[in-house]
Structure 1
Amino acid sequence: MILLCAHLGAAQRVTVYLDGQPTTEVPGMDSVEVSRFVNLYLLRLWNQGFVFSGLDSVFSDRIYFHAGEKYRNEIDQLAVYDAEQDTFQLWKPKKQSFQSAVQKQLTTYADKGHPFVRITWDSVQVKDDMAKGFLRIIPGPLVVYDSMVLLGEVQKGRAFLQTALHLEVDKPFSERTFQNLPKSIARLQYLEMKRPPDVAFEHGKATVFLDLDKRKSSSFEGVVGLLPGQSAGNGVMVTGFLDLQLANLFQSGKRFLFTWNRFADESQSLDLGYYHPFFLSSKLFLDVDFHLLKQDTTFLTQSWNLTSGTNIGPMSEVFFGYEHVSGTLISPDESNIRDNLADFTSSQYMIGLRDVLYGQEMGMKSPFRYQARLVLGEKNISKNPSIDKGAYDTLHRQTSMLRVTAGAKYLIRLKKRTALHHHWEGQLLVNDQILTNELARMGGLKTLRGFNENFFYASNYALSRLEIRQYFEEYSHFMLFYDQLLMEHRGVVSYPRGFGAGLSLDTSNGLFTFALAMGMSRQIPADPANIKIHIGYTSKF
């Protein structure tokens, strides 16, 4: 059967015949997929009572089976090969789950180095119209990875690719790993697959063929915000945002991040990050981040974040980490305490789950993306020597905290090139002494359009960004959007919102973004004078 199946992958569609009559059509398959299909097709026939059915022949676009006579069927047991004992062990699954149990055994073998595992009757006893017997699973030859052949322009970083794609030499071949190669390559972001992967088997060795091209994944982004009437003495205030991301450093998957944002007069933020996959040749990644936020002449907040984790699927990863946060008053006085501002330090431990492409732009064919994180920690408020000690009597100096954040992105196709895009994010913060200088900041192009960058403070919030997109390329589209924020700050709940229109244009060298937005809140009415213009360009290289 292996020899018959070896050439079948060339066909786009395969017709399945039973006793000379066409029954169904299936997509073209490689030799391993044919082996699996034949096993499951025969299992279904045997389960229906055609105990002497079998495979006749295989051609590039056809597979022939014969059914034989039908009996009342009773499968007593399943014989499963035990490699350690070099013998077969009898196993009797529940009758109602027999077929799924056999399928699970076949999948297990195919993922542990036996892609050509097959099932057969060990013995059959026929009496009148009753057939009784048990099945045997024969694992077939052990197959291990031998080499990876790169056919496209990508030729460097072979050792890293073999580790990232789980194709290490002498590791048992896994059908699941091979089928997931397109997703595993997509998560690397700096590579793209020109055609589906292929595999060849010879003498117990598997050679994987990959046709890959480089994808522009490093980026430099600049955003300009024009805010009319926001600065004293000026008709227009210009804010700035710079973002530099370097991907696949040294052909080893490492990344570096630099982000600077000037969102108001004398207010700015800075982010630095370094990502290291397969740290110390393990399956763990290491992510080190630094964040700094300066709010005019009021306070300064700094945080260090050390995160590690591992892949748990083609596009998902679980992570855990530690974060140290410190807040400092720039011009301390007693009015800061009344405004719920204070010097503090906190130690926080986190665990979470996320899609590796959560932060990337979504195209017409993008799947559902998500992220969730749970943070537990301790916070200590420090007494500032410039503030009278009695001002701290009303504060809880040492407290425990809990923070839960989550988000999701998805696309619903309305017509061929029209889609509804929804991005949702939220946070729940539980702490007996929540300070203003540790709150989440909302507003601007990345969160709530129609408002200044980091305009709102929120302890708990839910943000919905809804867009009607009209695509004219995979990532290029016109959009109408409505952003709604539900937030709580110092016990007051508010519902600011923004709406407008924009354009996202994906070019060969980068992504151009333009948005015209108007924001409304309890304090800010709808007024054309408050229209915000957001312009951004992300250069890819």
Structure 2
Amino acid sequence: MRVCFLILFAFLIVGVGHCPAQDFFRVNWNNPQGTSHQFRTFSSRGGAAELMDSVSVEFRSLGYLMHYWEEIEKKDTLTFQLQPGNQHSWKAIKQGNVPEEWWKKLGSPPLYYSGPYTWMETLVKSMENEGFPFAAVRIDSIETEDTYLTGVLELDKGPLILWDSLKVSGESRTTQKYLQLYSGLVPGKPFSQKEFESGVRRIRRSPYFQLDSIPYLGFQLKSAAPHFRLKDRRINVFDGVVGLIPNQNQPNSMLLTGDINLQLYHLGGKGRDISLHWQRPNFQSQNLDLSAKESYLFGSPLSFELDFSLLKQDTTFVNRGVSIEFGYSISEFGNIRFFNRRQAGDLIGGFESAEVLPSYLDFRWNSYGLGAAWNMLDDPIFPRKGSTIEAEFSIGNKNLVENTAIPGEVYQKFDKSSTQLQAKLHAEKHVYLTPVWGMWIRMKSGVLKNDNLFLNELSRLGGLRSIRGFNELYFFADRYAFLNFEQRLFFGKGSYLMAFGDFGVINNPFTSPQIDRPRSFGLGINLDTDGGLFSFVFGMGKSAFQPATISQSRIHFGYLARF
């Protein structure tokens, strides 16, 4: 028994010594171009096998159809060496049943090995956008000759699919007709995957509503019906303050003052907007802005907007303006608009003793213009990244109106009728740095050109929406450019702390010096609450007419009650 045990032990020792035990597995291969040698080392055979499969797929896609792996064992390492073999390519790809129009449109397939497959993917995607979402193509009747291949294309177009009426559900008042026009998915037109993706992007960027779930397509009876579940955004605005103060011009009477802002959007679910802004800061001045917009006028791709504005500046002048505008969307990101704008200015005070024309004057200006906008922001309400740019140009005839309170001879050296032009540019950029840190940069500029310009027709700047640290509409300018720069620290989707700097160049031909370079710095907070949007900004501004002192600093409040 003892002898048998010793013989068995000796046999096991000898057997183990001859059993292969690999500690490492190495995968070797040369780049397809033969420019460099690649290798990886693994502690398990499974890891090496996964890499070998990936490398094989790459070599096969390049035409090395006969490649194989050679195993080389040395000590404790098993090496897998790739032997690529010869590279195959196509000698000819025959048209087969591919329609001639597609063959001419895409050209013949390239003859390197993966060329026809890339060409086939392009063909299928093109047919998806022409009403054939189930199209398929393959290479049939493949023949080999040495390292050359010959094949014939075989196309199965599948049924022609047309757009059906889209379906709208969810907590939204949006009408089916409006959404069809807005998305561009018109019933009866051939199905297009590209149009569907573009329509989804447009809906995601709508200021009126947002997607409440992932949209999907329903196919039946050779038709495709897109389904959208929507939820309206809270974008309607109403806020205001109304007060009564003693009327200094009429004793024992009261004067209504205040600030009212009303903005109603997407009325009836049809993209119909109206807005009203009235402000009367004191008994001498007030301004009023009214606006109404109708989207897809009479079912056409045109939008229509009507605006009216009135500005009464103390006891000096009153300005009125009416504009009619037609807009047209040229893509999911851009639109153009054409407008006619009529503006009038009338003096209030008397100038019987005037020997020269005053800074303010009666005028009438009728202009026609063109505007364009390109919007690439990621969100229409609270963007975090992206950019937008708007440009506008108008030209028209301006007439001076003689005021009976001013001697007629002072008008003689001026052209009563002249050509006047105006141009504006607005660009902004949102930079996403981290989830809690971002930047906002905005530039605005404008020019009003005429040999006879008067103070009551100049652009007005200053305040919370332009150059902070100054009173609202503090500056008059015929030419201006300013830059707003903010660093934002986010603590919510639309809530953030800010540090800002505003820098401007303004030309006012009625002041000395004419060119002013206002700048301001400050801090602020923007709060997005359930009740609305609250803004608080502290700014210290400096210009040629305002020193940078604490006593001259400004606190800007803003509140938008959304519903």
TM-score by length of 1: 0.77
Asked which structure has the greater CA Rg, the reply is 2
**Amino acid across the alignment from 1:344:** F
- Aligned residue in 2 for 1:273: 291
2:473 aligns with one of 434, 444, 454 = 454
CA shift in 2, pair 1:91/1:420, >3 Å: closer
- Aligned residue in 1 for 2:222: 204
- Aligned residue in 2 for 1:157: 175
* 1:242 Cα deviation after fit: 2.7
CA shift in 2, pair 1:265/1:129, >3 Å: farther
Structure 1 range deviating more: 333-342 or 460-469: 333-342
Structure 1 range deviating more: 285-294 or 367-376: 367-376
Q: Distance in 1 between matches of 2:109 and 2:354?
A: 72
Give deviations 1:352-404, integer Å, cap 9, x for gaps. Answer: 2124698x976353421221112122212122222112111232322222222
Contact 1:77–1:92 at 8 Å: present in 2 too? no
Structure 1 range deviating more: 383-392 or 326-335: 326-335
**Amino acid across the alignment from 1:143:** I
SS at structure 1 position matched to 2:398 = strand
Say yes or no: does 1:146 pair with 2:187. no
Contact 2:439–2:487 at 8 Å: present in 1 too? yes
Q: Distance in 1 between matches of 2:473 and 2:97?
A: 62
Say yes or no: does 1:184 pair with 2:202. yes
Q: Distance in 1 between matches of 2:215 and 2:490?
A: 29
1:376 aligns with one of 395, 413, 424 = 395
Say yes or no: does 1:242 pair with 2:260. yes
2:236 aligns with one of 196, 218, 240 = 218
Map of 1:96-495 to 2, 5 A cutoff? 106-121=124-139, 126-131=144-149, 139-154=157-172, 157-222=175-240, 241-262=259-280, 266-333=284-351, 335=354, 338-355=357-374, 363=382, 365-490=384-509, 492-495=514-517
Say yes or no: does 1:505 pair with 2:527. yes
Q: Distance in 2 between matches of 1:536 and 1:434?
A: 33
Structure 1 range deviating more: 181-190 or 308-317: 181-190
- Aligned residue in 1 for 2:552: 530
CA shift in 2, pair 1:500/1:80, >3 Å: farther
**Amino acid across the alignment from 1:464:** L
- Aligned residue in 1 for 2:107: 92
Q: Distance in 2 between matches of 1:328 and 1:101?
A: 69
CA shift in 2, pair 1:393/1:146, >3 Å: same
Q: How many residues are matched?
A: 476
Q: Distance in 2 between matches of 1:512 and 1:336?
A: 50
TM-score by length of 2: 0.75
Give deviations 1:300-344, integer Å, cap 9, x for gaps. Answer: 111111111221222322111111111111224265964432211
CA shift in 2, pair 1:70/1:354, >3 Å: same
2:88 aligns with one of 44, 54, 71 = 71
CA shift in 2, pair 1:302/1:45, >3 Å: farther
Q: Distance in 1 between matches of 2:209 and 2:87?
A: 52
Runs (5+) with no aligned partner, structure 1? 1-17, 24-40, 53-67, 225-237
More strand by share: 1
* 1:188 Cα deviation after fit: 3.3
**Amino acid across the alignment from 1:71:** H
Give deviations 1:270-291, integer Å, cap 9, x for gaps. Answer: 1111111110111111111111
Structure 1 range deviating more: 330-339 or 310-319: 330-339
CA shift in 2, pair 1:485/1:89, >3 Å: closer
Contact 2:129–2:192 at 8 Å: present in 1 too? yes
**Amino acid across the alignment from 2:436:** R
Q: Distance in 1 between matches of 2:496 and 2:544?
A: 32
Give deviations 1:152-201, integer Å, cap 9, x for gaps. Answer: 23366223222222233323222122213343224432211122211132
Q: Distance in 2 between matches of 1:366 and 1:395?
A: 50
* 1:147 Cα deviation after fit: 3.7
Contact 1:147–1:207 at 8 Å: present in 2 too? yes
CA shift in 2, pair 1:532/1:456, >3 Å: same
SS at structure 1 position matched to 2:434 = coil
* 1:146 Cα deviation after fit: 2.2
Q: Distance in 1 between matches of 2:131 and 2:169?
A: 25
- Aligned residue in 2 for 1:227: none
**Identical-pair percentage:** 28
Q: Distance in 1 between matches of 2:316 and 2:498?
A: 38
Q: Distance in 1 between matches of 2:282 and 2:60?
A: 71
**Amino acid across the alignment from 1:423:** R
Contact 1:78–1:137 at 8 Å: present in 2 too? no
Q: Distance in 2 between matches of 1:479 and 1:78?
A: 63
Give deviations 1:455-506, integer Å, cap 9, x for gaps. Answer: 1001111111111111101110111111111111118211111221111100
* 1:512 Cα deviation after fit: 0.8
Give the CA RMSD over aligned residues.
Answer: 3.8
Give deviations 1:56-105, integer Å, cap 9, x for gaps. Answer: xxxxxxxxxxxx995233667878966xx999768636979x89987766
Q: Distance in 1 between matches of 2:154 and 2:420?
A: 57
Contact 2:207–2:381 at 8 Å: present in 1 too? no
Q: Distance in 1 between matches of 2:92 and 2:51?
A: 24
* 1:241 Cα deviation after fit: 3.8
Give deviations 1:395-447, integer Å, cap 9, x for gaps. Answer: 23222222221112222233330111112111123322222221110011111
Contact 1:146–1:205 at 8 Å: present in 2 too? yes
**Amino acid across the alignment from 1:314:** E
- Aligned residue in 2 for 1:516: 538
CA shift in 2, pair 1:518/1:155, >3 Å: closer
Contact 1:364–1:474 at 8 Å: present in 2 too? no
SS at structure 1 position matched to 2:164 = strand
* 1:451 Cα deviation after fit: 0.8
CA shift in 2, pair 1:300/1:139, >3 Å: farther
Contact 2:206–2:380 at 8 Å: present in 1 too? no
Contact 1:223–1:536 at 8 Å: present in 2 too? no
Contact 2:384–2:438 at 8 Å: present in 1 too? no
Higher relative contact order (CA 8 A, sep 6+): 1
